[in-house]
Amino acid sequence: MGSAGEVAIVALVAADLVSDGAQAVVLGGSVARGDAHRFSDLDMVAIGAAGGGPEYALRVVDGRLVSVSWRTGDDVRALIDSPADAGGAVPAWRAARIVHDQKGWAAALQEFARGWSWSRIDAACDEYVADATVGLAEEVLRLAGMLEVGNLAAAAAMRNVLALRLPMVMAVHHRILYDSENALWAAVDAAMGPAWTADAAAAAGIATVDLAAGCAAAGAMYTAAVAAARPLIGADGRAVVDLASEVAAGLRGRGPRRE
């Protein structure tokens, strides 16, 4: 599970959680998987009644950051069956280390995760991808508008929104499971192909520090996402994404207007 120090911290926090009413405690994240680095936090989940503790809290124990999430069993099942969360939640629960399990709740949830498949939520995933892609059209138009008026800080913010959120939407579209968000980006790159990968690097500021080029790359990511999601989008939504795609295409070769 980790070093002796990590084991001691997990035991200490678990004891506190049990005394606060947790019926089960699990350790997740990189420490549970065995690929933690020296700045990794200890991700712990307490399973109990609603209101047993704060939904999410951070604390420092013996110099290590510990994150604690309180959930009911129904909360965990809903998270696993949520299109937006399943990609990370399913592998996390499959690999979780059970620290305390008074009534077998954690074991049952882990068994549920291990038997889970995307087919349970196919229709919900398609709806999520369509809605999210249409919704991000607004960010594309904001990006173009902020570039045009020379509001570079706002343009950079919109670029970052697209660079962050589009891979998450495409992860659902391609039904990608990922052990950590750290691995999400590479997995989506592999699924979407070389052009997307290059644009994602530019939009994230890895391949270029030029704002206009990064914004254009974020626009190109959007048009690629639209192409992938288009069969799932209804007529009204298609009018929206077509407008945004046209605006995104116009970002190529256009820099911010300067007075």
pLDDT in tens, 205-219: 998 779 999 999 999
What percentage of the chain has pLDDT greater than the value 70? Answer: 97
Q: How confident is the model at residue 2 (pLDDT cuts 50, 70, 90)?
A: low
pLDDT at 39 (0 to 100): 84
Measured CA to CA, the distance from residue 201 to residue 29 in angstroms comes to 26
Query: pLDDT tens, 140-161?
Result: 999 999 999 999 999 999 999 9
- Over the chain, what is the mean pLDDT? 93
Angle between helices 181-192 and 86-95 (to 10 degrees): 130
Q: How confident is the model at residue 1 (pLDDT cuts 50, 70, 90)?
A: low
Please state the rounded mean pLDDT for residues 185-196. Answer: 97
What is the pTM assigned to this prediction? Answer: 0.91
Domain ranges of the chain: 4-116, 121-249
What percentage of the chain has pLDDT greater than the value 90? Answer: 83
Is residue 56 within 8 Å of residue 43, measured between CB atoms?
no
Query: pLDDT tens, 70-85?
Result: 999 999 999 999 999 9
Is residue 247 within 8 Å of residue 140, measured between CB atoms?
yes
Helices (H), the chain: 4-19, 29-33, 73-80, 86-95, 105-114, 122-135, 137-149, 152-173, 181-192, 194-203, 211-229, 235-249
pLDDT at 244 (0 to 100): 98
pLDDT at 30 over 90: no
Two structure tokens written together for 97:
């280390």
CATH class of 4-116: alpha beta
Query: pLDDT tens, 164-181?
Result: 999 999 999 999 999 888
Q: How many CA atoms lie within 13 A of 43 on its CB side?
A: 17
pLDDT at 47 (0 to 100): 96
Measured CA to CA, the distance from residue 130 to residue 226 in angstroms comes to 9
Measured CA to CA, the distance from residue 227 to residue 206 in angstroms comes to 24
**Closest among 110, 85, 89, 82 to 26, alpha carbons compared:** 110
